[in-house]
Chains A and B, each alone.
Chain A
């Protein structure tokens, strides 16, 4: 029976490519794909931890397809943002995440949506994994009323449920994240907070203040340093006396993780989450990752690193390619299937970009709104004494 269905599906696929019609190969029950496989993942360096994550990860076909789709969506979304920025449709700051997709997707795979997460300004990927849609993310970048923050926040200030941004001041999000963790502990709902920062931020004093308090009060906080080797234009060797970011928490146990491998990130996150939920207090993860773009759109990204280096990472360690190769070589998906996902993703991005470029800007009436929550309407002074603008909550 299975063989016959395979033949039929092959025929259908064949005819589909001739006619250009799309055939959905849902494939779960009747295609002969491997439902799940086990992969070796890199060992994590440990600091004050007895045991690290397992050296193998189990990936199901469903999970694989989902991670692939999300990472690809993230990738294409960031590349589209690059395009729109160069066309001057996106303005101001735009910090792109391409290359680091495995971090955002792997972390989300290790926690629940009911957990909490906060990061810095390279936040588009997390806005997506935390429940934002590509449409509302792109429309926020282009400053339109359909944006996730109605156009009032921009690239660095996007929020969803249990996602606290998007924060522009380097390092400030770390105490905030510990505060969220404090609330988790206080309210007793067994939730935790993932608190991200970069290698540049890792030297901030307030982070060490936060390590101290999180550890003292045993806050359920996973500190994650996304080490992409450069804090803006400064390489880690030039910025940090110790580049072992996973050890910088001192009394906080830490682990260094291959941030280009979504499975490695996922397993490490699961371990970290278990640590927090069991009441042991905070834990620190360093994700070794890489960004293809410069620090932001105003940084070409090649004055402080070579194009060869970027190319090398792309060819040898790209997170999406790594996942794709794993799935294909283990017969967990077909080339066509993944291509189809690519096509769907491209369409989603195109539609979103279309929306983001045609949606109108926020109405001027909205200028002074959202100053205070749950307050009666008030007057706000305009640019001159005769201009009194209205503000509602």
Chain B
């Protein structure tokens, strides 16, 4: 199976990313690979699910006639019309509540937040109306809804538009929280999310939308699903485990490539799902490498890395650690605007390399 590396120049426009392929052995002769951007993967996944199940519909700001603020829903309104692709007014609390009510009454809505920053206006509906209802009703009322949209930092959009919500939503029982990295992730996880009978928060990343990935035939099939709750090992390694999600996976792989030249082999785990967290995959890896560094774009306090480290402390893998596990995170500040400040507010490849070497004491 070909191993794929995607090189991203950190902090730059993702559209200029270059794709390089390395083969370990010869791939099977008839395998058809195509390059698909994350955006197109999301678009195709929604298109296929809209076609497959009439109860699925999409609502959000600019999703219909504008083709999506980030063009993720391009072409869908033209194909499916007003009934199934609905432009909403700029009223998050209202339309998120409407989406949840529709889910309660038998439909399968995809509720788009233009960014997850705006989901804060509607967070009561996500948590109190969607997440908790199946439990409160002791199984009488399910809520099959997907909340999706870009999450985390972008480029130059400053403090109010750059927050990562993985930790906030990951905190709440009753929600599934998913954070894809690649086009394959986006496709398989979105399909699973839409088919899931429970509320799923689907955290995309704006800077990843334009990044192309190779997609095998298998991944292109209409029923390709990635199970929610299972992490993926993107790169095998023996010396240290890097755990991350979303865009930071690209940085981890870049850092791993640099470190490999110095003989340090990193195992990069793509969480894919924030909640339920695949602690087992991380533990298995630590039992092999004996070292852990988590990498995330969000703030450090009470964050994704904090949870992973706590679980490792409490679980069987602790005894296998040869050094304290550490977190690489965004800087604990609101996101500044100026480019140099912004670049220094989120993890860079050098920060990952530095933390790996410190952990390995080299």
Contact residues of A with B, CB < 8 Å? 116, 118, 149-153, 157, 159-160, 164-165, 167-169, 172, 174-184, 186-187, 193, 205-206, 209-210, 212-213, 216-217, 366, 369-375, 378, 380, 385, 393
Contact = CB atoms under 8 A, between A and B. Distances in A.
B96 interface: yes
Given A153-B137, A157-B137, A159-B140, A180 B128 contact: no
Given A179-B100, A179-B105, A372-B198, A209 B89 contact: yes
B142 to A, nearest CB: 4
Interface string B96-108: 1111111111110
Contact of A371 (B89, B107, B173): B173
A149 B94 contact: no
Interface string B105-139: 11100000000000000001100110001111111
A370 B139 contact: yes
Contact of A167 (B89, B129, B142): B129
Contact of A165 (B96, B105, B137): B137
B91 A180 contact: no
Interface size on B, as a range, is: 35 or more
B138 A183 contact: no
Nearest to A219: B98
A371 B101 CA distance: 18
B101 A183 contact: yes
Contacts of A184: 105
B141 A159 contact: yes
Given A178-B98, A179-B105, A182-B98, A371 B134 contact: yes
Contacts of A206: 91, 93-94, 97
A385 B312 CA distance: 11
B305 interface: no
27 contacts: A149-B138, A150-B138, A153-B136, A153-B137, A153-B138, A164-B105, A169-B128, A172-B129, A175-B94, A175-B101, A176-B104, A179-B103, A180-B102, A182-B101, A184-B105, A187-B107, A209-B93, A210-B94, A213-B88, A369-B139, A372-B174, A373-B142, A373-B197, A374-B197, A374-B198, A375-B197, A378-B276
A385 B93 CA distance: 36
B315 interface: yes
Contact of A212 (B89, B129, B133, B198): B89
Most buried by B among A116, A183, A187: A183
A170 to B, nearest CB: 10
A358 to B, nearest CB: 20
